[in-house]
Each structure stands twice: as structure tokens, then as C-alpha cells.
Amino acid sequence: MAHGEIRNIGRLIARLWSESAGTRALSLAVSLAGCLNVGASLLFVWATKRIVDHAVAPGHHIPGSCVAVLALCLALQLLLPAMRRRLETLAYTRYVNAMRRRLLRHLLESRWSGRGGLHHGDAISRMRDDAATLASLSCSTIPGILAVAVQLAGAFVFLACLEPKLALAVVFIMPLALIVSKIYVGRTRRITRRIREEESAIQTFLQESLAHRTLLSTLMGTGRRTDSYGTLQDTLTADIMRRTDISVFSNTAVTAGFMAGYTVTFLWSAYGLAAGVVSFGMMTAFLQLVSQVQRPVLDLSRRIPSFINASVAVERIDGILAQPLEDFTPLPVPDNAPMGLRFTGVTYRYADGERDVMASFSHDFRPGSVTAVVGPTGSGKTTLLRLMLGLVEPDAGKAEYYTADGLSGPLRAALRHNMVYVPQGNSLVCGTVRENLLMAAPDATDAMLRDALHAAAADFVLSLPDGLDTQCFEGGGGFSEGQAQRIAIARGLLKKGAIILLDEPTSALDPDTERLLLDRLIRHIGPHATVVIVTHRRAVLDACTDILDIAGAKAKQGRDSSSLGGCSLGGSVGLHTPRE
Ligand code: ADP
Ligand code: MG
């Protein structure tokens, strides 16, 4: 166990050091305040010894300077901890906030992992609790340990000056108690890891339960769901009790050691007093010093669990940071530059999939074309859009972009600056309609927002009592699905981009609204945009230049299908040409 433990602690310390760059000065100040406090408490012991010795001496004269020192020590012992606590909170908050910002950014920019990714509940639990564990170790426990070590050394030296044998006796009992108390460190780590996993599972479970509460109540499943929650709680409780038993055992062992130390000191002083070799003042000092030696040891032993918690927390946080990031290295493609997407012999299968979603698929989405992608559910329409967005990469074949200036290359995340994507389903976030729209274009004016809403046939927003400030609740609540869909399309249109990818944008619309939306949309985006619409709807097909049946991967390209492989800017001579 010892070897692994030391390696774990070494790794943890290296990690804590690198993470603490922004808060080191504050933590040093916390340590200093702690050390000064220790100095004040030792000085206090010295002053009480002097006062007691003078009080029982024949002259009964208590020096005023000793009383003054006593008062000063008390004042310092009030002030320093207050200051220390304030600095500690500041350091902790800065540390944990910086870490959470970094984790959020990493989560947002890591590569899309489909089914294999962390559940949001788990990710939130890691960001919240594991980051807090590391922050408190780094900003409170470790700076505290320095003060504790100073206290231990100071009290020991002081005691040794007064009575070396007693000092040795007291210090000898401690390590014994500590060793007994820490035989279960390895087991504690395993239980701690399990507890954190169970807490994550509970967070995930709660999040899902609340998100689907209506569904649960229609399935008449709320009771069953609550029972399952109870089962998860029971498992967690059992593990928490296991860990508590170990720590109660450790603490009892340490406390027994203390009792022994204190008793030895007390009896030693009492016999010394009787034999006339120990003064009253010394006895007062002994008893105070013994507790000053013992308290830090107890403190240190209590802090061992926080190292174990932190080493588990580091593993869990590394689980987030180990997720590979997307490559956003800029490409020389200007915003809004007309762009085509060419697939040549593309084969793709999800990492955990049983079959190829796409096999030797070829198609050219020419600049200026409006392609309807059709096919039964599960045939790979959304997957095609994911390939276009660079969320996933082909296993074989080539998926490339090309521009009129002869630029070309594989489809990559960095191309998204030139892409507009409206996902399937409801993708509005909590906040007003305006806030939703501004997500795509933070600097857009109200006129631009109105324009986009009009193009997406979502003018209805403007006639609502609160207009653009109408509140949108969790999961797009407050709007019908068709309304939410059109607001999401307006949001997409506010972003720059010559590639427009719409995943079943009209699935919740009636035919008239659908027709209106498509007419306005196609007029709004101009003749050079490349549009890909995933759809099941007849009306959409009529408005498109190309129809791609993904099931058979049969591309019924327009009359200029010879352009496959070439670059025909604006050459959208399709079956239907509503854009000309
Ligand atoms: P469509 O949009 O045409 O309904 P999808 O592209 O969403 O279909 O899915 C195509 C196939 O890929 C389906 O069989 C589906 O089960 C599978 N699939 C979709 N998403 C994932 C994923 N994240 N991981 C593994 N398989 C997936
Ligand atoms: Mg789909």
C-alpha cells in the first residue's frame, strides 16, 4: 500500500501546485496568519507560566508586562483567525471558480462523443463537488498544515526546554496512535471513489426525473421512480456508514493516544510537584503545551481523509480534462464565403455501433444548391449533418469542403464559423426570445432580429404582449413545438455562414406555414448559400434543387450532376429553381 499511496500523494501535490497558480500568494498569507497565531498561543503559555510562578512566589508580585503580553496574545488570537478565514474564503472562491470555468470550457469544446460521453449529471457533480474538494484542500487544508507543523515544532521545543524526558514521552505515544489509525487508508480510498460515483448517479437520476416529470406522471411512474431514488440513497448511505466507521475507529485510536499522553503529563507534574522539582507555573505550562503538541497531531490525522477525497477528485476531474478537444485552428475560409461540401466514398460507423450508418457514400453539395435529404428514421440523415459539422469523421473515404478560390480540405470543426445549423427538436434555452436570438449574434440590432424572425416565419413573436422580451422556459416551454422551431431557425439565420444545415426544420408545422417559411428562408439566404434540409415533407421537396435519398444513397442530383467533383459556383440548375 505504502508505495502506491506515496505515488498518489506525489501526483496529487504536483497537480495541486500547478492548479494553484492564481491563489498562491493568498494561500501564503493564510499560512502566515496561522503561524503568527501559533506564535501568539506559545507566548500566551509563557506569560501564564510567569504569572502563576509569581503569584505563588513569596513576594506575590505579578509583573504588569506579563499581563500586557497576555492581553496582546488574546487580541492577536482573536484577530488573526478572523483575518485568516477571510483570506481563505477569498482564495477558495477564486480557485474553485477558475477551475469550474476551465472545466466548463473543456466540456463545451471537447469532441462530441455521442453515446459514450459523460452524462450531464455526472459532469455537473464533478464540477461542483470534486472541484470544491480540490479547492478546499489547496486553499485551506495545505496552508493550515504549515501552521500546524509550526505549532507542533514550537510546542515540542518549548516543552523540551522545560522537561526533555516528558517531551519525548509525549511525542513517542503519538506516532503509535497515528499508525494504528491509518491502516485503512487504501480501503477508505476505494469507498470514497464509490461514494463519489454514487453521488454522481444520484445527480444524474434527479436531473432526468425532473426533466421528464410529465412523462413520468403519464406513465403513472412517479412512485416507482421515487422508490428507485430511495434504492440509490440506501446504497449511498451504506457506503457512507462504512467510511464513517473507519474514520470513527481512527479517531478513537488517536484520542486514546491523547488521553494516555495527557495522563502521563498530569501524573508526571503532580509527582514532580509533590517532590518539589516542578513548580505550579511549570505544571500549567506542561498541561497547555501537551495539548498544543497533541492538537496539531489530531488535526493532521483528521486531514488525511481530505487528501484521500482529493486524490479521488483529481481522478474524476482528469476524466473531464482527458476528453480530447476539437480542433479550432482557423482555416483561411472567410465568413460567408460560398462553399461546397463533397463526400467521396464515405463510410461511417459509430464507435459503439453494430453496422455502418453510411457505406461508400458519395455526393456533392454544390454552392448554391438546396438539397432535401430524405429517408426513413434511423437511415443516417442526422449523422450526415454531423459529418458535415465535423462532429464525427469518416472511417473511410473523403468528406471535404471546397470554395470558389480553389481552397479545399477535410471537414473540420473550425469550418463551423461558416455554417449555420438548426438541430432537430426544440433547442431554445431559458431566457427571453431576444436572449435566445442574441446567442447567435451578440451585436445584432432589434431590426436584424425582426428581420430574422420574419425570414423564419416567426413574426408571431412580435405580436406577443412582451414581443422580443417574451420569456422562454426550460426546454422551450411557453411555446408550441412549431413556434419554438421557427424561433430556433431565426436564431440560426442570425449567424454568419454560407452552409445552412436544417434538421427536420418543419416537422411540427402545418403545410401553409411550412410553405411560407421555405419561400422566405430561401429568399433570405441568397443564391450562393449551400442549403441541406433533412425532411419528410412533400412541400419541402418542391422547394429544393436536389433530392438525396439517403437510404439508398441515391443522389438524384440536378441536371448538372456532372459537376460532382467540380466546383460550380451558383450553378444550381436543379429540378426546381425557385431561387432564380
Ligand atoms: P436519422 O436522423 O436518419 O433518423 P441518425 O443519423 O440519427 O438517423 O441515426 C442513424 C443510425 O445511427 C441509427 O441506427 C442510430 O441508432 C445510430 N446512431 C445515432 N446516433 C448514435 C450515437 N450517438 N451512437 C451510436 N449510434 C448512433
Ligand atoms: Mg435525425
Quick check: 239 pLDDT over 60? yes
The alpha carbon of residue 451 and the mean position of all alpha carbons in its chain are separated, in whole angstroms, by 37
Which distant-in-sequence residues (6+ apart) come within 8 Å of 152 by Cβ?
Answer: 293, 296, 297
Mean pLDDT in the chain? 86
H or E stretch covering 481: helix 481-494
Judge whether residue 559 has pLDDT over 80.
no
CB 459 within 8 A of CB 453: yes
Whether 565 shows a pLDDT value over 50: the answer reads: no
Instruction: Write 318-322 long-range contacts (CB < 8 A, 24+).
Output: 319/118, 319/126, 320/103, 320/106, 320/107, 320/118, 320/123, 320/126, 320/127, 321/103, 321/106
| Ligand 1 pocket check for 352: Cβ under 6 Å | yes
Give 455 or 189, the one with higher predicted confidence: 455
Residue 555 pLDDT > 60: no
pLDDT band at residue 17, thresholds of 50, 70 and 90? Answer: confident
Residue 385 makes CB contacts below 8 A (sequence gap 6+) with: 421, 501, 503, 532, 534
pTM beyond 0.85: no
CA 350 to centroid of ligand 2, rounded, Å:
15
Number of alpha carbons in the 13 Å side-chain half-sphere of residue 52 = 15
Residue 182 or 425, more confident: 425
CA 355 to ligand 1: nearest atom: 14
The rounded distance, in Å, linking the Cα atoms of 123 and 106 is 11
Residue 335 has what pLDDT? 82
CA 392 to ligand 2 centroid distance, Å: 15
Grid cell at residue 144 = 493550515
Mean per-residue pLDDT, 295-317: 84
Three-state helix/strand/coil letters over 27-81 = HHHHHHHHHHHHHHHHHHHHHHHHHHHHHHCCCCCCCHHHHHHHHHHHHHHHHHH
Ligand 1 neighbour 379 (Cβ under 6 A): yes
Q: Which residue has the higher pLDDT, 477 or 419?
A: 419
Residue 357 CB less than 6 A away from ligand 1? yes
Which residues are bridge partners to 556 per DSSP?
547
Q: What is the mean pLDDT of residues 73-92?
A: 94
At residue 524, the 3 state secondary structure works out as: helix
Indicate if ligand 1 lies below 6 Å from the C-beta of 376. no
Cβ of 354 closer than 6 Å to ligand 1, yes or no, is no
Q: 12 or 300: which carries more pLDDT confidence? A: 12
Weakest mean pLDDT among 159-163, 320-324, 342-346? 159-163
- Confidence at residue 71, expressed as pLDDT on a 0 to 100 scale: 94
Given a cut of 70, whether residue 566 has pLDDT beyond it is no
CB-based contact 371:365 (threshold 8 Å): yes
pLDDT score recorded for residue 576:
36
- pLDDT band for position 571 (cuts 50, 70, 90): very low
pLDDT band, very low/low/confident/very high, at 569 (cuts 50, 70, 90): very low
Is the pLDDT at 489 greater than 50, yes or no? yes
- Residue 503 Cα to ligand 2 middle (Å): 7
Specify burial of residue 336 (Cβ count, 10 A radius: 0-12, 13-18, 19+). Answer: middle
- The whole-angstrom separation of Cα 501 and Cα 517 is 15
| 507 in contact with ligand 1, CB cutoff 6 A | no
Residue 568: its pLDDT value, please? Answer: 31
Residue 58 vs residues 363, 450, 454, 468: alpha-carbon distances, Å: 108, 96, 100, 89
550 alpha carbon – ligand 1 mean position (Å): 13
In which band, very low, low, confident or very high, does the pLDDT at 182 lie, cut at 50, 70 and 90? low
With a cut of 60, say whether residue 579 has pLDDT above it.
Answer: no
Q: Is the pLDDT of residue 578 over 90?
A: no
From CA 346, how far away is CA 365, in angstroms rounded? 14
pLDDT band (50, 70, 90) for residue 86: very high
Binned at pLDDT 50, 70 and 90, residue 388 comes out as very high
Q: Which atom of ligand 1 is nearest to the CA of 376?
A: 3
- With 80 as the cut, is the pLDDT of residue 529 above it? yes
User: Any residues with CB less than 8 A from the CB of 357 and at least 6 apart, and which?
Assistant: 348, 349, 350, 380, 383
Dig out the grid coordinates for 548 from the structure: 438525396
Quickly count helices (H) and strands (E) in the chain.
Answer: 17, 12
- Residue 354 grid cell: 453494430
Work out the pLDDT band at 294, boundaries 50, 70, 90: confident
pLDDT tens profile 108-163: 999 987 766 788 899 999 999 999 999 999 998 888 888 888 888 888 888 888 88
Whether ligand 1 lies within 6 angstroms of the CB of 272 is answered as no
- Cα 482 from chain centre: 33
Least confident of 11-15, 237-241, 266-270, 557-561: 557-561
SS3 126: helix
Cα distance between residue 338 and residue 404, in whole Å = 7
CA-534 nearest atom, ligand 1 = 2
The percent of residues above 70 in pLDDT, for the chain, comes to 92
Per-residue pLDDT averaged across 334-348, rounded? Answer: 92
Q: Quick check: 306 pLDDT over 60? A: yes
- 10 Å Cβ neighbour count for 534? 23
User: What b/e string do you get for 266-302 counting C-beta neighbours within 10 Å, with b at 16 or more?
Assistant: eebbeebeeeeebbebbbbbbebbbebbbbbbbbbbe
- Least confident segment among 309-323, 375-389, 564-578: 564-578
Burial class (CB in 10 A: 0-12, 13-18, 19+), 126: buried
- Shortest-distance atom of ligand 1 to CA 380: 6
